[in-house]
């Protein structure tokens, strides 16, 4: 089964500005999501939002900070949730780490 993660950025009139798709979720991204969950424990909301933005830019390397700022928050959450679901399906994943990220 092939998984892909996608993110579409829209302008103020709901016209598509950019589309990003990652059809291969690299192991490094899975490691990053676990690292992110550990780093977010006890952090402020501001730090958590910044860390999630940085993480999304790791998933989509061509996503600029300017485009990221225009992304719909629900689309970002959906991308993160898709990756969390992949992590949950990996045998041996620490349930504690997954639960931390899941609450974002």
Q: What is the pLDDT of residues 32-91, one digit of tens each?
A: 877 877 877 788 888 888 888 988 998 999 999 999 999 999 999 999 888 878 777 775
How far is the C-alpha of 36 from the C-alpha of 54, rounded, in Å?
Answer: 10
Confidence (pLDDT) at 32:
80
Report whether pLDDT(26) > 90.
no
Report whether pLDDT(101) > 80.
no
52 CB-near residues (< 8 Å, 6+ apart): 36, 76, 80, 104
Give residue limits of the domains in the chain: 5-102
Q: Is 8 helix (H, G, I), strand (E, B) or coil?
A: strand
DSSP H helices, 41-94, are 45-59, 65-70, 73-88
Taking the model in full, what pTM does it have? 0.71
């Amino acid at each position: 089964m092939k998984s892909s993660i996608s993110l579409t950025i829209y302008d103020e009139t709901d016209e598509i500005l950019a589309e990003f798709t990652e059809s291969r979720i690299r192991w490094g991204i899975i490691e990053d999501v676990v690292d992110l969950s550990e780093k977010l424990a006890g952090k402020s909301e501001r730090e958590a939002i910044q860390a999630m933005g940085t993480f999304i830019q790791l998933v989509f390397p061509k996503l600029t900070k300017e485009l990221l700022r225009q992304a719909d928050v629900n689309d970002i959450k959906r991308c993160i949730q898709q990756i969390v679901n992949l992590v949950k399906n990996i045998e041996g994943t620490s349930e504690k780490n997954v639960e931390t990220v899941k609450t974002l």
